[in-house]
Amino acid sequence: MTSGLLVSRRQLLAGVVGVGAAAGLSACGLGPGPNPVGASAIAAAESARATTGKVRDFVLRAAPAQVDLGGTVVTTWAYGDSLPGTAFRATAGDRVRVAFGNELPEATSVHWHGLAIRNDMDGVPGVTTPEVAAGGSFGFDFVVPDPGTYWFHPHHGMQLDRGLYAPFIVDDPADPGDYDHEWVVVLDDWTDDVGPSPEQIYADLKAAGGSGGMGGMNGMGGMDGMGGMDGGDVTYPLYLVNGRAPNDPDVLTAKPGQRVRLRFINAGADTIFDVALAGHDLTVTHTDGYPVTPVTTSLLRIGMGERYDAVVTLADGAFPLVAQPVGKLGQAQAIVRTGSGTAPMARWRPSELDAYPLTVDALRADPGTALPAKDPDSVQDLLLSGSMGPYVWTINGRTYDDTVPLTIRQGQAGRLRIRNMSMMPHPIHLHGHTFQLGSAGGTGPRKDTVLVPAMGAVDVDFAAENPGQWMVHCHNAYHAEAGMMTRLDYVT
């Protein structure tokens, strides 16, 4: 009887993956899974990565800062003194070293979002990389494997909803790019030092059980008229493009007829954005770093943590580049200027916002970037659910402190069946991998963050080639903090 119970327990811990050995029967969901891979597997994976032999050294400082949001100066936390922080730039295969100093009054971490780097540099305290204490420092050192648009931010409480974010652009030596300019466009929802702090909003959501009505909370009413999508849990006083509010926006300049590559990053904590450039169509070329068959749209939906690249040929004049928070009032805006025309007023609403937004369903992987076709060795479910009262968000019915990690063995083909049982969309992010929507070898795009619609379902396949313990979580910072996280553990 005892051994029967043990077998059941092991099967439960291991999901559908068999377990070879007897050790590792941790009763605590957060403890190491059965036989977690160790440092040697992580080091071996790192030494197997193709490298250019070039080393890029960066210095990064997280510190309190005064930032001008465009007429509103706030005291917040930022990387350096700018919002967004200064972009990192490297070439695929470069070894990146980051001398990080934490001048914040509390511990922090740096997570390199979307980069499939070595596990022990992934920046998740308690799982991959030690947290960096107040006044402390840490030296990151990793090879960046894949080109594309990435970014970095803390993986620590509600810190992401302050000003701690910056782009990380990885160039493709095989693709110099057919465009005259490249603009990184970072979207954000802002409350710190204008409205309540992120920590206060989270505390209010927990205390009120999400019944709504208090400052900072969105209540249950957010609907955008497109399938009744609830936009988020938080009402923000400001929405930003490149750290600027619409009153005094970022101005991006070029000449008429020039081709521009736009690299969109949604750094918001609780806001999905629909993005349009007035008077222009956007030709979407990449998502989450990976190329797709180009598709043209006037409106593009971007969930938290997602990135999209688009090219556009610019007309003559001044055009608002608008990001509409889905299900919320307000607008983020920059200005694209190629001529001497009058800039449109702040919060002018271009007709492109009335179009139906392009979402991942319309994207096809560039054929060269599909995963090798393979039936999954391991199929595991991620059921997303939660409630506003009490304010709790779960994966497979459990909050993170009670989670049963998913498991995989190195070399296996994995499938995650993500089922959203809630009335809100959730951007689900897998660290350390870029999965393929649908099935491996199919036509779905490669991504690391996928916006799963309310009551919707998405299957993703991944190749288990990056050993370690990896977070799988909702990229709504409030949902993650309220429990909507689990792990994918490589086991032997």
Transcribe 103-169 into DSSP letters: -SSS-B--EEET----GGGS--TTTTS--B-TT-EEEEEEE--S-EEEEEE--STTGGGTB--EEEE
The amino acid that residue 356 corresponds to is Y
Shortest distance, position 238 Cβ to Cu ion, whole Å? 22
If you count DSSP H runs as helices and E runs as strands, how many of each does the chain have, helices first? 4, 30
Stretch that binds Cu ion, among 12-20, 257-265, 444-452, 476-484 (CB under 5 A): 476-484
**By CB under 5 A, is residue 108 in contact with Cu ion?**
no
Shortest distance, position 218 Cβ to Cu ion, whole Å? 13
Stretch that binds Cu ion, among 20-28, 448-456, 462-470, 478-486 (CB under 5 A): 478-486
Q: Residue 7: helix, strand or coil by DSSP? A: helix
Stretch that binds Cu ion, among 133-141, 323-331, 422-430, 450-458 (CB under 5 A): 422-430
Shortest distance, position 276 Cβ to Cu ion, whole Å? 25
C-beta closer to Cu ion: residue 314 or 382: 382
C-beta closer to Cu ion: residue 67 or 452: 452
- Residue from 14, 65, 335, 474 that binds Cu ion (CB under 5 A)? 474
CA dihedral 268, 270, 272, 273 (to 10 degrees): -50
Beta bridge partners of 98: 58, 140
Residues 158-177 that bind Cu ion (CB under 5 A): none
Kind of pairing between the strands at 378-387 and 413-420: parallel
C-beta closer to Cu ion: residue 113 or 426: 426
CA dihedral 12, 16, 18, 19 (to 10 degrees): -40
Stretch that binds Cu ion, among 169-177, 185-193, 299-307, 474-482 (CB under 5 A): 474-482
Stretch that binds Cu ion, among 81-89, 180-188, 203-211, 468-476 (CB under 5 A): 468-476
- DSSP assigned state of 192: B
Q: Give the separation between CA 44 and CA 50, rounded to whole angstroms.
A: 12
C-beta closer to Cu ion: residue 333 or 394: 394
CA dihedral over 323, 326, 328, 329, signed as positive or negative: positive
Beta bridge partners of 251: 335
C-beta closer to Cu ion: residue 244 or 426: 426
Q: Residue 437: helix, strand or coil by DSSP? A: strand
Beta bridge partners of 451: 427
Shortest distance, position 233 Cβ to Cu ion, whole Å? 9
**By CB under 5 A, is residue 473 in contact with Cu ion?**
no
**By CB under 5 A, is residue 471 in contact with Cu ion?**
no
The pair phi, psi for residue 187, each rounded to 5°, is -100, 145
Shortest distance, position 246 Cβ to Cu ion, whole Å? 27
- Residue from 149, 266, 476, 486 that binds Cu ion (CB under 5 A)? 476
Do 250 and 262 form a contact (C-beta atoms < 8 A)? no
Kind of pairing between the strands at 273-277 and 378-387: unpaired
Stretch that binds Cu ion, among 79-87, 149-157, 314-322, 420-428 (CB under 5 A): 420-428
Q: Is the peptide bond before 84 cis (omega within 30 degrees of 0)?
A: yes
Q: Give the separation between CA 443 and CA 363, rounded to whole angstroms.
A: 8
- Residue from 95, 244, 429, 479 that binds Cu ion (CB under 5 A)? 479
Stretch that binds Cu ion, among 44-52, 272-280, 424-432, 442-450 (CB under 5 A): 424-432
C-beta closer to Cu ion: residue 409 or 479: 479
Q: Under rule CB under 5 A, how many of the chain's residues touch Cu ion?
A: 4
Q: Residue 78: helix, strand or coil by DSSP? A: strand
Shortest distance, position 454 Cβ to Cu ion, whole Å? 10
**By CB under 5 A, is residue 426 in contact with Cu ion?**
yes
Shortest distance, position 161 Cβ to Cu ion, whole Å? 14
Shortest distance, position 232 Cβ to Cu ion, whole Å? 9
Q: If we measure between CA atoms, which residue out of 390, 345, 341, 380 comes closest to residue 487?
A: 380
Residues 308-347 that bind Cu ion (CB under 5 A): none
**By CB under 5 A, is residue 358 in contact with Cu ion?**
no
Shortest distance, position 427 Cβ to Cu ion, whole Å? 7
C-beta closer to Cu ion: residue 105 or 228: 228
Stretch that binds Cu ion, among 320-328, 353-361, 460-468, 469-477 (CB under 5 A): 469-477
The amino acid that residue 297 corresponds to is T
Q: Give the separation between CA 406 and CA 279, rounded to whole angstroms.
A: 46
Q: If we measure between CA atoms, which residue out of 376, 396, 378, 377 comes closest to residue 386?
A: 396
C-beta closer to Cu ion: residue 282 or 474: 474
Residues that bind Cu ion (CB under 5 A): 426, 474, 476, 479
